[in-house]
Amino acid sequence: MGISNYQMSSVIALLPEVGLLVLAGVVLTMDVLLKDNRKHLIAVTTAVGSLLIILAALMYSQPSGDLIWGGMVRDDMLAFVFRLAFIFAGGITAMFSIGSKDLAHRGDYYAIMLGAVIGMCFMASAADLIMLYLAIETTGIAGYLLAGYVRTDDRSAEAGLKYFLFGAATSAVMLYGFSLLYGFTGETNLSAIAPILASGTVSVSAICAIVVLILVGVGFKIAVVPFHFWAPDVYEGAPSPVTGFISTASKTAGFAVLLRVFIYGLAASEYWLPAMAVLAAVTMTFGNLVALAQTNIKRLLAYSSVAHAGYALVAFVAYSELGVASVIFYLIAYVVTNLAAFGVVIVFAHTAGTDDIQQYAGMSRRSPYLALAMLVAFLSLAGMPPLAGFFAKFYVFAAAVKADMIWLAFVGVLNAIVGLYYYLVVLKVVYVSPAPDGAGSIDIPATCKIALVVLSLGIILMGTASSPWFNWAMKAAQDLF
């Protein structure tokens, strides 16, 4: 008899997760075996391993669209695209971690990060409430550890604790929402829950309560107003590579859950759309306005990432195939762009030892290419062509206009102007202000250089040859409807 074809394909569908687990094991072993002066190989192994996993997944694990493993996991395009993005983010973060002296040579750090990536992968593919909750907790706990990883640094410890307290509280609230959902429908599988809600047997007030409770947990992950309070402190305190990772991969994983639960699971209940539209508008506006006043680059990026969650929500409330495709495209573009932005922050701090924006003065003379990478990343965040962020914003606003939410599109474009302003202010410091006396050139570690080149090219590629990426996002979106 042996393993039947069905089971074999189920195993292959989880190839990326299995690969990540193996990689985590290899990394831990290397940590024990390697001498201290060779431990930078751990980061390289993590990055190369991630790349191999992505290639293997592209070759062997093309999604079937089925529910597998007893309905725990849905092997669809949506999950596939997001999982590749998480693994990519993990690999890039490993390369950037070389630029942080607290993290570069710690094998367990890379293993925990890979654990977080595994959790995110399951967040994207889970189709059952139980699996979903386990995945969210796996990601969360790994994230708390990463944020507080540098125990000797008070701010890192504070970041870890804060992240943990907020995370634990919100996920408990979300769990209550899950339990209500189970209580009212008698099902834990989202594919079974959707038709029951659609049949109208569950009262509207119950659904509203469920939506609000779940939104607390998801809102924490994606850092939308009013669940964003943890973000600036955690972003500032956590080691920069971790901040880059949390602000991109973890936020994207939150959006994967949002799409899965709200569109696939709660499809029938559109009561929450107007409320979400307001949430999107408030999130964009708040994030951008507060970002204006920041003097620390990590806090600036923290508030800007709150704003970016708002833009993605705009496309989400458009509630259409185009809208979901725009959310996915936006997030992929955002992952690539924001990782590049944090890469620059890490490299700069590696030499200058500070995250103060004023200290970036004269960077374009100290290192023209690093300044160019920053220009590309920040202009992409601002939504300028020919960069990824331009197409991302364009698709988002197109989705909003198509859904006849002109007011939201206007709030969005006006916010884009506020965003442009503060990104330009930073670039002004980099390009116009004179360098402080005695500031020499900036040393860029080799892995960071490679990562920045890859990300910059990726940003330009997504901003010019946007079609293949968008078609991918479109396919993923079609899986949900």
Partner 1 sequence: MYMGFPILSVITLTPVTFSLVLFLFPADKKKEIRLTALVAASITFALTIVAYFGYDMETAGYQFVEKYNWVESLGISYYVGVDGISLPMVLLTGMVIFTGVLISWGIDDRPREFFAFLFLLASGVFGVFVALDLFHLFFFYEIAVFPMYLLIAIWGWKVTREYAAMKLTLYLFIGSVLALVGMLAMYFVSGLGTFDMIALQEVQFSMQFQKLWFPFVFFGFAVLAGIFPFHNWSPVGHVAAPTAVSMFHAGVLMKLGAFAALRVGVMLLPDGARFWLPLIVFLALTNVVYGAFVAMKQRDLKYVIGYSSVSHMGLVTLGVATLNPQGITGAGLQMFSHGVMTALFFACVGVVYDRAHTRDIPSLGGFAGKLPWVTVAFIIGGFVSMGMPGFSGFVAELPIMLGLWSAGTVSSEYFIAPYYTWIVMISVIAIAITASYILRVVQQVFFGKMPTEFEGHITHSSGKDKIAIVLLAAVLVLLGVFPGWMAPLISSGAESVMAVIGGI
Q: Which residues bind partner 1 (CB under 8 A)?
A: 364-365, 368-369, 372, 379, 384-386, 390-391, 394, 397-398, 401-402, 406, 409-410, 413-414, 416-417, 420-421, 424, 427-428, 431-432, 466-467, 470-471, 474
* 12 contacts 61 by C-beta, under 8 angstroms: yes
Tokens, residue 332: 């992929």
CA 277, chain centre distance (Å): 21
Tokens of 44: 């390289």
Q: Is the alpha carbon torsion for 364, 366, 371, 374 positive or negative?
A: negative
- Token readout for 131 is 């699996």
Residue 448's H or E segment, with its range, is helix 446-464
* Block residue for tokens 């907020």: 166
Tokens representing 8? 């074999």
Query: Up-side HSE of residue 149: CA atoms within 13 Å toward CB?
Result: 26
Q: Hey, what's the torsion of the CAs at 149, 151, 156, 161, to 10 degrees?
A: 80
* Residue 221 contacts residue 251 (beta carbons within 8 Å): yes
Beta bridge partners of 74: 67
Comparing CB distances to partner 1, the nearer of 181 and 454 is 454
Compute the chain's Rg from CA coordinates: 21
Spatial separation of the C-alpha atoms in residues 415 and 66, rounded to whole Å: 40
Please report how close the Cβ of residue 65 comes to partner 1 at its closest, in angstroms: 20
In the bound state with partner 1, the residue whose beta carbon lies nearer, of 287 and 412, is 412
> Across-strand partners of 145?
none
End-to-end Cα spacing for the chain: 37
The total number of residues written for the chain in this structure: 481
Of 61 and 456, the one with the shorter C-beta distance to partner 1 is 456
Q: DSSP string of 105-169?
A: T-HHHHHHHHHHHHHHHHHHHB-BHHHHHHHHHHHHHHHHHHHT--TTSHHHHHHHHHHHHHHHH
For 441, the 3-state DSSP assignment is coil
What is residue 67's three-state secondary structure? strand
Q: How far lies 479's CA from each of 74, 130, 263, 370, in Å?
A: 10, 22, 11, 40
For residues 2 and 434, which CB has a smaller minimum distance to partner 1 in the complex? Answer: 434
| Residue 340 DSSP SS3 | helix
DSSP letters, 6-24, are HHHHHHHHTHHHHHHHHHH
Provide the CA 172 distance to its chain's centre, in angstroms: 22
